[in-house]
């Protein structure tokens, strides 16, 4: 069995363990992300695994975008990701196989998610061959199937007390042949209602609620509702943002409109309420 799954603690670095475990299919570092994390896709004897770490304590390489957090902060978020994974079971959530404590911090070992990452760099969003564009132009029923899973998984997360933070298209792995969704990188989700202590919290501006830019504002279920609604609107309209183009029909478009209202009191109060309204109004194609 691969060391990645058999070990719980090692004095070696995460990269040493990963490289000795199998074939490195991909490495994600400062060249592909600005978080400071380092991750790998590795083929082991038993399975393909996605391995995520907080990276190193060394300063970012020259030319790299400055990470949001230092190494200690990134470690804290990875431990939160472990808590989330162990508190909620849902088929749309990436499956955490094990956690290894390495010399340079925790190593989170997930099953490889099927499909393609929908979020792409801004420069690639106009490319019709990108997963971003292909999902936005996909058959209506496939998109609605993905939306069903997105909402159902967040009902489960809400039941365990989690509030979305930094949920965007870069969290969506979608198998565009089947419509299967896997959610990844939920490290910054918060447990329970909290107060915006950053001013601008983590996230992609395209999907963030107004309170995520306001120091001292509440972050709660209505915040999650807004972001979910924005994802549905963005991709459900084929990127036009015009609700008359929404793939789920006029009644479902009204649900999305209510979810994304700037005034918090005008939105659904919980993800459960949003999901129930969605199920009642979403058309079958």
Q: What is the CATH number of the domain that holds 258?
A: 1.10.510.10
Is 44 found in the same domain as 91? yes
Is 97 found in the same domain as 125? no
Is 60 found in the same domain as 126? no
The CATH number given to whatever domain includes residue 51 is 3.30.200.20
Question: In this predicted structure, what is the pLDDT of residue 285?
Answer: 61
Is 66 found in the same domain as 129? no
Is 141 found in the same domain as 155? yes
* Number of separate domains in the chain: 2
Tokens of 248: 């789920």
Hey, CA dihedral for 151, 152, 155, 156, is it positive or negative? negative
Residue where a domain terminates, one of 111, 143, 162: 111
Is 178 found in the same domain as 208? yes
Beta strand pairing status for 48-53 and 105-111?
antiparallel
Is 208 found in the same domain as 167? yes
Residue where a domain terminates, one of 88, 111, 134: 111
Question: In this predicted structure, what is the pLDDT of residue 29?
Answer: 81
User: Measured between alpha carbons, how far is 270 from 101 in angstroms, rounded to an integer?
Assistant: 36
Question: In this predicted structure, what is the pLDDT of residue 63?
Answer: 60
Residues of the chain with pLDDT under 50: 1
Is 70 found in the same domain as 124? no
Question: In this predicted structure, what is the pLDDT of residue 61?
Answer: 63
Is 69 found in the same domain as 165? no
Is 274 found in the same domain as 192? yes
User: Measured between alpha carbons, how far is 232 from 229 in angstroms, rounded to an integer?
Assistant: 5
Is 194 found in the same domain as 57? no
Residue where a domain terminates, one of 89, 111, 133: 111
Question: In this predicted structure, what is the pLDDT of residue 284?
Answer: 77
Question: In this predicted structure, what is the pLDDT of residue 235?
Answer: 98
pTM summary value: 0.94
- Tens of pLDDT, residue by residue over 141-164, are 999 999 999 999 999 999 999 999
Question: In this predicted structure, what is the pLDDT of residue 5?
Answer: 86
Question: In this predicted structure, what is the pLDDT of residue 36?
Answer: 82
Residue range(s) defining the domain that contains residue 239 = 116-281
Is 153 found in the same domain as 272? yes
Question: In this predicted structure, what is the pLDDT of residue 145?
Answer: 98
């Amino acid at each position: 069995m691969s060391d990645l799954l058999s070990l719980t603690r090692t004095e070696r670095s995460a990269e040493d363990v990963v490289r000795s475990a199998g074939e490195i299919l991909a490495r994600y570092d400062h060249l592909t992300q600005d978080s400071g994390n380092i991750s790998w896709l590795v083929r082991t004897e038993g399975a393909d695994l996605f391995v995520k770490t907080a990276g190193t304590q060394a300063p970012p390489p020259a030319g790299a975008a400055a990470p949001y957090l230092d190494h200690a902060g990134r470690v804290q978020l990875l431990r939160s990701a472990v808590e989330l994974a162990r508190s909620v079971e849902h088929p749309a959530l990436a499956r955490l196989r094990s956690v290894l404590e390495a010399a340079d911090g925790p190593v989170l070992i997930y099953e490889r998610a099927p499909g393609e990452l929908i979020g792409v760099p801004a420069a690639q969003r106009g490319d019709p061959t990108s997963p971003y564009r292909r999902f936005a132009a996909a058959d209506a029923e496939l998109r609605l199937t993905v939306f069903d899973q997105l909402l159902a998984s967040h009902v489960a997360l809400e039941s365990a007390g989690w509030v979305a933070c930094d949920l965007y298209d870069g969290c969506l792995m979608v198998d565009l042949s089947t419509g299967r969704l896997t959610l990844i990188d939920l490290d910054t989700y918060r447990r329970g209602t909290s107060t915006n202590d950053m001013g601008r919290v983590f996230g992609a501006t395209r999907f963030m609620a107004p309170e995520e830019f306001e120091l001292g504002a509440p972050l709660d279920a209505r915040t999650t509702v807004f972001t979910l609604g924005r994802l549905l609107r963005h991709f459900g309209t084929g990127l036009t943002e015009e609700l008359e183009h929404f793939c789920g029909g006029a009644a479902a478009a009204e649900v999305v409109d209510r979810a994304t209202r700037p005034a918090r009191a005008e939105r659904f109060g919980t993800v459960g309420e949003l999901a129930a309204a969605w199920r009642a109004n979403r058309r079958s194609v």
